[in-house]
Structure 1
Amino acid sequence: MPIHQQDQPMLGWLCLLAAIVTEIIGTSFMAYAARTESYWGYGVMAAALALSYYFLSLAIRTIAVGVAYAAWEALGLAGLALIGVYVFGEALLTQEMIGLALSVVGIACVVFGEDHGNAEEQAA
C-alpha cells in the first residue's frame, strides 16, 4: 500500500511517538539493570534506545529536527518521571513537578507552533 504525500506528516508523528515510547522503555531498563545488575536488562536497554534513535531519525524526515528532538526529550523525561514514581517508588518534590509541567507546556507550544505547510506552497 503506497504512502500518500498527505499521510507523511502523520507517519512522522507516529514515528516520533514510537521513538518516545522506546526511549522510555530503554531508559527504564537502564535504571532496572543498574539497580539489579541484570545483564538482560542492559540488552533490552541497548535495543530499545537503538530503536528510539532509529524512529527519531524517521520522524525528522517530516518534522523539524528541533521540534522532534524537543518533543522526544521532554515527553521522554515526563514519562520517565512517572515510571520513576510508579515503578521505582521515587518521590518528586513540588518544584520538580512544576518543572516537569512547565517543560510539557513549553514543548506543547513548540509543537503547536511548528509550520505544518511548505513555505513555497503557502506563498503561492
Structure 2
Amino acid sequence: MYKKLISPSALPWLLLLGAIVCEIVGTSFMAVAARSDSYLGYAWMAGALALSYYLLSLALRAISVGVAYAVWEGLGLVGLTLVSVWLFGEKLVPQELAGLGLALLGLACVTLGETHDEEAAA
C-alpha cells in the first residue's frame, strides 16, 4: 500500500526548519550586503527573509505561536552565530558560548513543554 513520505505531525516541524534556514541565509546576506554595498545581496536578503516568514506562518497552523517563534528565533540565533564564525571570521568569548548554551537549553524546555491536541483532550 501507499506510504506517506512525511508524517503529518513532522511536516510543520520541517516547515519550521525551512523557515530557520531561510532566516539564517537572509540575515547572512544582510551582513554581506551591508559590508559590500551590494544591492543584489539586499534582494537575496529580502527574498530569503520573506520566505522564512511564509514558512513560519505555515508551521503555525500546527505548532503554537510561542513555541514556533522561540524555536525559530533561538535556532536562528545559534545558526547565524555559527555562520558568522565560519564565514565572517568572528570570534566568540566564553560568555557568548554560555549564552548560546543556555538559549538551547531554554529551547529544549519550551519545546518539550508544548502540549498537543491529543494530549489536551485526554
TM score, norm. by length of structure 1 = 0.90
Deviation of 1:116 after TM superposition, in Å, equals 2.6
CA deviations 1:9-30 (Å, max 9, x no partner) are 2111010000000000000000
TM score, norm. by length of structure 2 = 0.91
SS of residue in 2 equivalent to 1:96 = helix
CA distance in 2, matches of 1:15, 1:83: 21
What is the aligned partner in structure 2 of residue 50 from structure 1?
A: 50
CA distance in 2, matches of 1:78, 1:67: 16
What is the aligned partner in structure 2 of residue 85 from structure 1?
A: 85
> Which stretch of the first structure deviates more once superposed, 108-117 or 10-19?
108-117
Matched ranges for 1:1-124 at <5 A: 7-118=7-118, 119-120=120-121, 122=122
CA deviations 1:35-75 (Å, max 9, x no partner) are 01111100000000000000000001000100000000000
Question: Structure 1, unaligned stretches of length 5 or more?
Answer: none
Q: Amino acid of the residue matched to residue 30 of structure 1?
A: M
Q: Runs (4+) of structure 1 moved beyond 4 Å?
A: none
Question: Structure 2, unaligned stretches of length 5 or more?
Answer: none
Does structure 2 conserve the Cα–Cα contact (< 8 Å) formed by 1:8 and 1:62? no
For these two proteins, the number of residue pairs brought into alignment is 117
Deviation of 1:117 after TM superposition, in Å, equals 3.5
